[in-house]
Structure 1
Amino acid sequence: MSPPVRATIGDRAAAPSVLTPPTAGGLTWRPWTPADVPALAALMRAVQEADGRDWFTPAEEIAETFGAPAYETADTLVGLDADGTPLAYAHAEQFPTDGAGLLRVWLHGGVHPDRRGEGIGTELLAWASGRARQVLAASDGDPRLAGLPARIAVDLLDTDPPERRDLLRAGGFEPVRYYANLLRDLAAPVPAVGLEPPLRLVPWTDALEDAARLARNDAFRDHWGSQPRTAESWRAHRSSFARDWSFVVVDESVRYPGSEHEAPGDTTVAPGTPYVVGLHRAGRYEHDWATQGYTAGYTELLGVRRAYRGRRIAVALLTHALRVFADDGMQHAELDVDTDNPTGAPALYTRLGYTKSEGSTLYAIEL
């Protein structure tokens, strides 16, 4: 029996032809501009502080939005009072579709704590969801994309106000995935874990960027919701990238061209480049250390090519990172993990002394 034919994304998205900005609260609405970055950073901090968070979105990350690979001006909205002060915001974040097996739009937004309870958040979520549906429906004309599944998603911390969950459920969102933020005290001893030749751990360099990207794409092919990263998207959102805390493992017996798992026609890696089989990419979020009450090295990505699993590459990368974090004066190591990670990563982190500090839930509308 042949599988059922999925309706095209144009039909499934049911996109509105016109988006109506919120009317609640009497604010004036328009898209973001680069000049808004400082005021948006202040608004987001006020929202996040009111929600009980101790980490915040810095101006540098907001500024990167405007250069993101799939960014469009129409994806953003800010509500201003009579004095021109931003009091509410939304962003329907698009992602590149090259090689994708899932179409995605992530929603971000918030209302200043002084203006909550006026219905602004409900109307803002409706606007953002409508924009997401428009973005997804725009893929309908591409035969490679029209039949793909699609997701509109929102991340919610466990500490966020309960009314936000009610808002999402009322908007058609359901919880679909759970994540844990983990901390590890760097005062505790770190085991020494070596690699057997021809495997070798080496620093992160510009010459290995795309080799690392292809290793990441292979490593995360079996992770829920993960999509391949293009050369452009891989280099985006790097304001907090910590090169000195980032490393790769190469197989010195192999040179590119790589394995059959590489994207056909990908010419981003020069022939003869060492074959990257594992990676640790780190972030330095120094702007959060004072409010969090500790310094930390953050592991943003830890992955191993599927053909190389079982050779202690991940533990070698992570223990090396722990030592480097500690040598740089950090008090903790930190990372986030999918609680249903298929590689057994949560067990690895537990063995290395990581413990849960907080959690989050992914709410989604699946189309």
Structure 2
Amino acid sequence: MSTSLTWRPLTTGDAQGSADLLNAIETVDKIGENYTAEDTHQELIDPYTDLERASLAAFDGDVMVGYMKVRHKPSAAEVHRVFVDGGVHPGYRGRGIGAALVEAGVAAAKVVHALHHPSRKLVVDVHKAEHIAGVAGLLRSQGFAPVRYFQRMEHTLGDALGEVVIPDGLRVEQWSERNDEDFRLIRNEAYQDYWGAAQMPADSWRNKITNQTFRPTVSFLLRDKANGTPAGMLVTMHWDADTAATGIRDAHFMLIGTRPGYRNRGVATALICHALRTAAGQGYDRASLNVDSANPSGGFGLFEKAGFMPRMRYVRWALEV
């Protein structure tokens, strides 16, 4: 570890420094993620991130050059999967900073696990794009192993978009404050059999979903006409910093879910096609999404059929503690 740096936990006042660091990392790692201070502030106020106990940042003077932060789960069944995120400025790599941050992240994960879900098994997760140099070697040296793969998929928006066919007996609704809770209900029921997923309480929903990046005019649900039951939903998000950096307006389909009782009726396909057409009509250049390679609902094939193409693979690394 470099001895010329100062180390301390992150605070909510580190939003601009965090954004500057992440944007410097993007210039080399090229994962398509750019940030404003508002974006990073939203992450720093996450109700399931304990900055005092479970974060650490390295500074060279006033400049943040590395960080890690831990996010614990609101709930856990048999396994509590604690997520560790972090990165090192490209100009400071190769000095042992990354190893120090990973070690600190594992130690912090144990602390928050003991506070929130001590009776459950602890697994520490790290999620990184496969192509980033040095990540695999670093994580393997700390005892992590790859356990899951995810794909970022993209769809260029133009004239050749599929026809929107709404399944019989269902109707489309755009997001509103009135049906917001229905969106969250669908998410929690649809994702209950997804690997690593946990229930999303209202405070997490507000922090992670309906924040400044949420795009309600490209977010929809399907509702059963007969009984009013919400059947499926799609949530779209957009990062202004990405457009500023690339010139591309990307509509990111953050959540797509169908309640179990409405599966195999074309709900997800209808939502995707409707959202693609809406996004194109609103001037978006591209749609994107991330999918688990072993998605139980067959997501990868569904998205390929809708015109999405794989662009980047991510690895979920795990350490059983």
Same fold by TM-score greater than 0.5: yes
Aligned to 1:207, what secondary structure does the other structure show?
A: coil
User: Deviations 1:233-282 (Å, cap 9, x if unpaired)?
Assistant: 1111223111111011111322xxxxxxxxxxxxxxxxxxx421100000
Any residues of structure 2 matched to 1:35-50 within 5 Å, and which? 35-50=13-28
Runs (4+) off by over 6 Å: none
Matched-pair contact (CA < 8 Å) for 2:126–2:318: yes
Partner in structure 1 of residue 57 of structure 2: 78
The CA deviation string for residues 161-202 of structure 1, in whole angstroms up to 9 with x for no partner, is 1x2110001111110010111111212522223334531111
**For the Cα contact (< 8 Å) 1:25–1:120, is it kept in 2?**
no
User: What CA distance in whole angstroms lies between the structure 2 residues aligned with 1:47 and 1:159?
Assistant: 13
* Separation in structure 1 between the aligned mates of residue 122 and residue 59 of structure 2, nearest angstrom: 32
Q: TM-score, normalising length from structure 2?
A: 0.93
Instruction: Choose from 236, 242, 259 the match for 2:215.
Output: 242
Q: Deviations over 1:134-162 (max 9, x none)?
A: 11122456xxxx1x33321111102211x
The equivalent residue for 1:104 is 81
Does the aligned pair in 2 maintain the 1:136–1:150 contact within 8 Å? yes
The CA RMSD over aligned residues, in Å, is 1.8
- Which of residues 135, 141, 144 is equivalent to 2:112? 135
Aligned position for 1:228: 199
Q: Which structure 2 residues correspond to residues 185-224 of structure 1 after superposition, within 5 A? A: 185-224=156-195
Partner secondary structure for residue 88 of structure 1: strand
Return the offset for 1:86.
1.6
Instruction: Name the CA distance, whole Å, in 2 between partners of 1:140 and 1:191.
Output: 46
The equivalent position to 2:145 in structure 1, one of 162, 166, 174, is 174
Match of 1:311 among 265, 273, 279: 265
SS in 2 for 1:249: strand
Structure 2 residue 72 is the aligned partner of structure 1 residue 118: no
SS class of match (1:90): strand
User: Contact 2:15/2:44 (CA < 8 Å) preserved in 1?
Assistant: no
The amino acid of 1:352's aligned partner reads A
Aligned counterparts of 1:236 and 1:140: Cα–Cα separation in 2 = 22
SS of alignment partner, residue 66 of structure 2: strand
| Structure of higher CA gyration radius | 1
Distance 1:304 1:53 in 2: 29
The alpha-carbon deviation at position 319 of structure 1 amounts to 0.3
Give the TM-score taking structure 1 as reference length: 0.82
5+ residue gaps, structure 2? none
- Cα distance in 1 for residues equivalent to 2:191 and 2:318: 20
TM-aligned CA distance change 1:65 to 1:293, over 3 Å: closer
> In the alignment, which of 304, 309, 321 is matched to residue 355 of structure 1?
309
Q: Secondary structure at the residue paired with 1:129? A: helix
Contact 1:102 1:227 in 2 (8 A): no
Which amino acid in 2 is paired with 1:358?
M
Quickly say closer, same or farther: Cα 1:360–1:232, change in 2 above 3 A: same
**Please, which of 291, 296, 301 is the counterpart of residue 250 of structure 2?**
296
Q: Offset of 1:293 from its aligned partner?
A: 5.1
Distance 2:127 2:182 in 1: 30
Deviations 1:50-73 (A, max 9, x none): 223332233222111333222322
Paired residue for 1:332?
Answer: 286
Helix, strand or coil for the counterpart of 1:253?
coil
Separation (CA, whole Å) in 2 of partners of 1:355 and 1:107: 28
Report percent identity of matched pairs: 30
CA contact (8 A) 2:231 2:262 kept: yes
CA apart distance, 1:90: 1.1
Structure 2 residue aligned with 1:19: none
Give the aligned residue type for 1:318. Answer: I
| CA–CA separation in structure 2 for the residues paired with 1:188 and 1:338 | 28
Pairwise CA distance, 1:48? 2.5
Distance 1:212-1:54 versus aligned 2 partners, 3 A rule: closer
Corresponding letter in the other structure for 1:76 = S
Hey, what does 2:275 align to over in structure 1? 321
1:363 offset after TM fit, Å?
0.4
Structure 1: which 5+ residue stretches go unaligned?
A: 1-22, 255-273
Q: Which moved more, 1:341-350 or 1:53-62?
A: 53-62
Give the number of equivalent residue pairs.
Answer: 318
Read off the aligned partner of 1:110 and give its amino acid letter: G
Task: Choose 330-339 or 64-73, whichever is displaced more.
Answer: 64-73
Q: Which amino acid aligns with 2:138?
A: L
Q: What corresponds to 2:135 in structure 1?
A: 164
Cα deviation, residue 229, structure 1: 1.1
